[in-house]
Amino acid sequence: MSDKPVVLLAEELSPATVEALGPAFEIRRTDGADRTRLLADIAEVDAILIRSTTTLDAEAIAAAHRLKVIARAGVGLDNVDIPAATAAGIMVVNAPTSNIISAAELTVGHILGLLRNISQANASLRAGEWKRSAYTGTELYEKKVGIIGLGRIGGLVAERLAPFGTELLAYDPFVTAPRAASLGVRLTDLETLLAEADVITIHMPKTPETIGMLGAEAFAAMKDTAVVVNVARGGLVDERALAQALKEGQIAGAALDVFETEPATGLDLVDLPQVVTTPHLGASTREAQEKAGVSVARSVKLALEGELVPDAVNIAGGPIDADVRPGIALAEKLGRVLTALSTDSPLTSIEVRIAGEIAQKDVSSLRLAALKGVFTDVVSEKVSYVNAPMIAEQRQVETSLVTTPEVEGFRNETTISAILADGTRLSVSGTVTGPKLVEKLTGINGFDFEVNLTDHMLLLDYRDRPGIIAAMGTLLGTAGVNIAGMQVSRAENEERAFSVLALDSPAAPAMVASIRDTIRAGLAAAVSLTD
């Protein structure tokens, strides 16, 4: 029997994938769609490579007695139980940037197809009709294209549309003006973009704030000649509101590659003549599939050789000191909290400060985790430990890691500080304490806390006065949101206070806005640390 590590290929992958693994591994194959065979074949392998057909749930992970790595040759990870894998000490990796060019090109293809009625004219001709005048189109030249979300894919779309002679607008609260200018894009607010754009394409991450971002109100604000494209995430476009807007002539057309529920067969929206749809083909090119396979093959090699794997979506392995490892999840969560505080202006610099005993160790992974957290709810692409620094560099955000053994009150403390384009300074601190490694929030913007980090929180900065807490409780109670815990910190002059509320369920954006207006808060931000 071979003493080589065993890699199981559960689906058809390119020859380049196998070549990238090299001769150091024993390659086995199985059919990931055959559940019985999969559970038998996964038992004695060190790594498994899958695509979208194979489901690795808790049962499959429990059957994998020596599995160290799950590699998804693609971006999505809906078919992998990541918490179960992490609990079992199994690293999960994907290929977060493998499809960005394919997705950008599909976006441009949909834009051109909509404006020139290509799909509809093709269907008509196949039906034996010759209706040239019925499918008179519109030139893209000199049209205004609004890009919602100017991340990696949004930026690639802008680069590809510029040669068409378009005027490019973009809405992205996390992008600086110099970054937009380098792409030839004019930053606007969302209202201006919706009102002016002839073509609107959305490339935002899917978060509670962006679900239904293009809904009835947005469609009403658009030109009646505008068309909408979504190749990013299902749910960013409210499909019922879109159907109504198309039927009423509020907008002229739409192209969708992603849907609220998939498979999207039997969807009434698909039957509307102004709509062009594709079955989630954003990553479905030979090139993207090959890039994804080669990328995860390299990650598998790193993992099985005991190296840090930058593309890991969890960090369950790699040469990370045992004392540093608990801080990885904390740093990522603190990064997401920082992002929630910085919605009004883009970031220009980020400092990750590690204080205490672990500062003497290699804490570079904590910087990666912090950046991953900062950008997770900012960009549409999947953020990993490898592309987070690249995203920061692309957005012209300076980053630094500072270590010091000096810390007050805790053995170790992680602080993420940021400067925004408008000069605002933000900071979030946290620590991991006790034998149960409880993650705690210890500071926000100079206010001191010691409160557990929970899945759903509400952060409020306001002028302290009687009745504030009662008002917050009443509004949340009326909305059916239970307060699981609360801590208030006051400034030294006692004029301002900062409250952190742990909630049992997310606070909807409208609810947050209502609380902000009622108590006249200077800052009101909801944070959800669950995906």
All residues at 6 or more sequence positions from 449 whose CB lies less than 8 Å from its CB, including other chains: 440, 441, 442, 443, 487, 489, 498, 500
Residue 395 clears pLDDT 60, i.e. is over it: yes
pLDDT, tens digit (0-9, with 9 covering 90-100), for 221-247? 999 999 999 999 999 999 999 999 999
Domains of the chain (ranges, CATH numbers): 6-96+287-305 (3.40.50.720), 99-277 (3.40.50.720), 316-452 (3.30.1330.90), 454-530 (3.30.70.260)
Higher pLDDT among residues 160 and 326, named by residue = 160
Residue 318 has pLDDT above 70, yes or no: no
Coil, helix or strand at residue 60: helix
Q: Which two tokens stand for residue 460?
A: 């409020």
Three-state DSSP at 145 gives strand
Q: What is the pLDDT of residues 435-469, one digit of tens each?
A: 788 999 999 999 999 999 999 999 999 999 999 99
Rounded CA gap, 367 and 350, in Å? Answer: 10
Dump pLDDT digits (tens) for 152-175. 899 999 999 999 999 999 999 888
Phi, psi of 255 (to 5 degrees): -130, 130
List the single range of 179-183, 199-203, 527-531 with lowest mean pLDDT. 527-531
The span from the CA of 67 to the CA of 26, in Å, is 14
Predicted confidence (pLDDT) per residue in 94-135, tens digit: 887 888 999 999 999 999 999 999 999 999 999 999 999 999
Average confidence (pLDDT) over 484-502: 90
pLDDT above 90 (res 136): yes
Position 404: which residue type? T
Q: Higher-confidence residue: 494 or 182?
A: 182
What pLDDT is stored for residue 283 in this prediction?
86
Tell me what pLDDT residue 177 has.
87
Q: Name the band, by pLDDT with cuts 50, 70 and 90, for residue 531.
A: low
Taking Cα atoms as reference points, which of 306, 293, 116 lies closest to residue 199?
A: 116
60: pLDDT strictly greater than 60? yes
Q: What is the pLDDT of residues 251-283, one digit of tens each?
A: 999 999 999 988 888 888 988 999 999 999 998
Residues of the chain with pLDDT > 90, as a percent, come to: 69
Burial class (CB in 10 A: 0-12, 13-18, 19+), 272: middle
Q: What is the pLDDT of residue 389?
A: 86
- Per-residue pLDDT, 55: 94
Q: What does R_g of the chain's alpha carbons equal in angstroms? A: 25
What per-residue confidence (pLDDT) applies to 175?
A: 87
Q: Quick check: 138 pLDDT over 90?
A: yes
Neighbours of 83 (CB within 10 A): 11
Active site residues: 233, 262, 280
* pLDDT above 80: residue 316: no
- pLDDT, tens digit, 9 for 90 and up, residues 36-49: 999 999 999 999 99
Per DSSP, the residues of 380-409 read SSPP-TTHHHHHHHHTT-EEEEEEES--SS
Give the pLDDT confidence score for residue 317 in this predicted structure. Answer: 46
CA distances from 124 to 115, 127, 128, 271, 273 (A): 16, 5, 7, 14, 11
Could you tell me if 116 and 299 are in contact, meaning their C-beta atoms sit under 8 angstroms apart?
no
Residue 328: both structure tokens together: 């990885």
Average predicted confidence (pLDDT) for the chain: 91
* pLDDT interval class at 315 (50, 70, 90): low
